[in-house]
Amino acid sequence: MTAPDAHREPTTTLAPTAGPTTAGRPADNRFKILDATIKRHRRQPDALLEVLHTAQELFGYLDRETLTYVGRALRVPPSRVYGVATFYNFFSLKPKGAHSCVVCLGTACYVKGADRILAAVQQAYHVPPHGTTPDGQLSLATARCIGACGLAPAAVFDGDIAGRMTPAAAVARIAPWMPHDQ
């Protein structure tokens, strides 16, 4: 991660009246990248989803400041930004863990016992589905089908699809991410 540069304000030219606070966030290039996306879409309100995608890629999740910033830049009311951000499963309003495990619960995976994989991971690492461990190491999520039905049951570990999973294999795959006392 780049060193925080306390002196440089994030670009606020798009929302000159009241730029968002950046407290607790490194004032790095990420807002510049976000602004570039916003500019590419000519600040059109229609680009809300695209911009939220970019923002989440940049920051990992969407906090209130980011939502406010995006709303002002695209000239969309805050409640609509919030409504859109919470409608879609992909957007997260809370920080995610350092690592992620997504268990596919699609039909093919269901038929092949994906629920047992989910239960095993939950139990082994004390993490609720769609939650994060208290130490912030692991986020567990479920997917509605990742399209890897031919390899069911499947799970995604830090972005890599793994097929023909078993409860034990899933737990083992996560083990190296976790502190040893678990």
Partner 1 sequence: MTSDDLDTVRARERAAFAAAPCRLAVCTAAGCLSSGAGAVRDALERTAADGADSPGLRIIGTGCLGLCHAGPLLRVFRAGAPDVTYAHATPDLAAAVVRQLPDGRLPDERQLPAMHPFFAHQHPVVLENAGRIDCERIEDYVAAGGYAALQQAMTEMKPDDVIREVVASGLRGRGGAGYPTGLKWSTVAKARGAGKFVVCNADEGDPGAFMDRSVLEGDPHRVIEGMAIAGFAVGAEQGYIYVRGEYPLAVSRLRVAIRQAERMDLLGQRILDTPFSFRIDVRIGAGAFVCGEETALIASIEGKRGAPRPRPPYPASFGLWGRPTLINNVETYANIPPIIRSGGAAYARLGTERSKGTKVFALAGAIVNTGLIEVPMGTSLRQIIFDIGGGIPDGRSFKAAQTGGPSGGCIPASHLDLPVDYEALAGIGSIMGSGGLIVMDDRSCMVDVARFFMEFCRDESCGKCIPCRAGTVQMHTLLMRMTTGVAAERDLTLLEQLADMVTRTSLCGLGQTAANPVVSTLRHFRDEYMAHILEHRCPAGVCRMPRAPERAS
Partner 2 sequence: MSVRTLTINGQPVSATEEQTILDVAREHGIDIPTLCHFDGLSEHAGCRLCLVEIAGSPKLHAACVTPAAEGIEVTTHSDRVTAYRRQIVELLLAERNHVCSVCVANRNCELQDLAVAMNLHHVRYEPQDPQLALDASHPRFIMDPNRCVLCTRCVRVCDEIEGAHTWDVMARGRRAMIVSDLNQPWGESPSCTGCGKCVRVCPTGALFEKGATTTVRDPDFLTYLKTAREQKLWIR
Q: In angstroms, rounded to a whole number, what is the distance separating the alpha carbons of residues 104 and 122?
A: 14
- C-beta closer to partner 1: residue 97 or 153: 153
- Binding partner of residue 46 among partner 1, partner 2, none, CB cut-off 5 to 8 Å per kind: partner 1
Options 58, 116, 163, 171; binder of partner 1; rule CB under 8 A: 163
- Number of chain positions touching partner 1 (CB under 8 A): 43
**Minimum gap (Å) between residue 63 Cβ and partner 2:** 10
Amino acid 131 reads G
The SS3 assignment for 105 reads coil
Q: Does the footprint of partner 2 cover residue 60 (CB under 8 A)?
A: no
Q: In whole angstroms, what is the distance from residue 72 CA to residue 62 CA?
A: 15
Give the dihedral of Cα atoms 58, 64, 67, 68; nearest 10 deg.
-130
17: its two tokens: 């009246």
- The angle at the Cα of 58, spanning 55 to 61, to the nearest 5 degrees, equals 65
Considering only residues 68 through 97, tell me which ones interact with partner 2, judged by CB under 8 A: 68, 77-83, 86-87
Residue 2 binding partner 2, by CB under 8 A: no
Beta strand 138-143 pairing with 131-132: antiparallel
Distance between CA 51 and CA 37 in Å, rounded? 6
Least spacing, CB of residue 43 vs partner 2, in Å:
17
Point out which span in 12-20, 29-37, 89-97, 120-128 binds partner 1 (CB under 8 A): 89-97
Q: Alpha-carbon dihedral of residues 96, 151, 125, 64, nearest 10 degrees?
A: 10
160 binds, among partner 1, partner 2, none (CB under 5 to 8 A by kind): partner 1
Which residues form the interface with partner 2 (CB under 8 A)?
Answer: 64, 67-68, 77-83, 86-87
Which residues form the interface with partner 1 (CB under 8 A)?
Answer: 44-50, 52-53, 74, 76, 80, 83-84, 87-91, 105-112, 143-152, 154, 159-163
